[in-house]
């Protein structure tokens, strides 16, 4: 199904506005250039990420569709399993400290963090299911 030209125009306008806002915030508000000029190891770390990440991305894009699906299944599956394990670990630790947290008033913060981890895990499992059924995420 073909999208109308107005939807495409609006999408590009929103994308452009977000990119301009992000650049403005990085340059003027957060002083991004000063952040990197204060410590040169940050520039080295950024270059290392680019040098390592670029061949990985290009290698992934060069894979066949079936190999790419297999990599996606492994990657999303590992993220889903790790997030689920972390949520269960935090929930178990919270159950052990429930009395202490209720006295100090920190129980709501712990419940919010466990809920956030559960939502993340559900999202990763949903993405895994979509890849498993060969549907776009």
Where are the domains positioned within the chain? Answer: 64-137
Q: Output the CA–CA distances (angstroms, integers) from residue 13 to 5, 60, 85, 127, in the order listed.
A: 12, 30, 40, 28
- At residue 127, the pLDDT reads 95
pLDDT per position as a tens digit, 25-46: 888 888 777 877 888 898 899 8
Local confidence band at 71 (pLDDT 50, 70, 90 cut-offs): very high
The residue assigned the tokens 């650049």 is: 23
Residues contacting residue 84 through CB under 8 Å, at least 6 positions apart: 121, 125
Listed residue (43, 45, 46) closest to 34, CA to CA: 43
pLDDT reading at 1 higher than 60 = no
pLDDT reading at 116 higher than 80 = yes
pLDDT per position as a tens digit, 10-29: 999 999 999 999 888 888 88
pLDDT per position as a tens digit, 41-65: 988 998 999 999 999 999 999 999 9
pTM of structure: 0.65
């Amino acid at each position: 199904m073909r999208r109308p030209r107005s939807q495409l125009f609006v999408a590009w306008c929103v994308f452009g506005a977000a990119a301009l806002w992000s650049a403005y915030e990085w340059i003027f508000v957060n002083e991004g250039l000063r952040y990197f000029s204060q410590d040169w190891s940050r520039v080295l770390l950024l270059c290392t990420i680019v040098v390592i990440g670029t061949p990985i991305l290009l290698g992934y894009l060069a894979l066949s569709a079936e190999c790419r699906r297999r990599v996606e299944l492994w990657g999303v599956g590992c993220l889903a399993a790790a997030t689920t394990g972390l949520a269960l670990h935090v929930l178990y630790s919270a159950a052990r400290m429930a009395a202490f947290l209720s006295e100090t008033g920190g129980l709501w913060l712990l419940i919010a963090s466990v809920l956030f981890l559960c939502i993340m895990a559900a999202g990763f499992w949903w993405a895994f299911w979509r890849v498993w059924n060969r549907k776009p995420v």
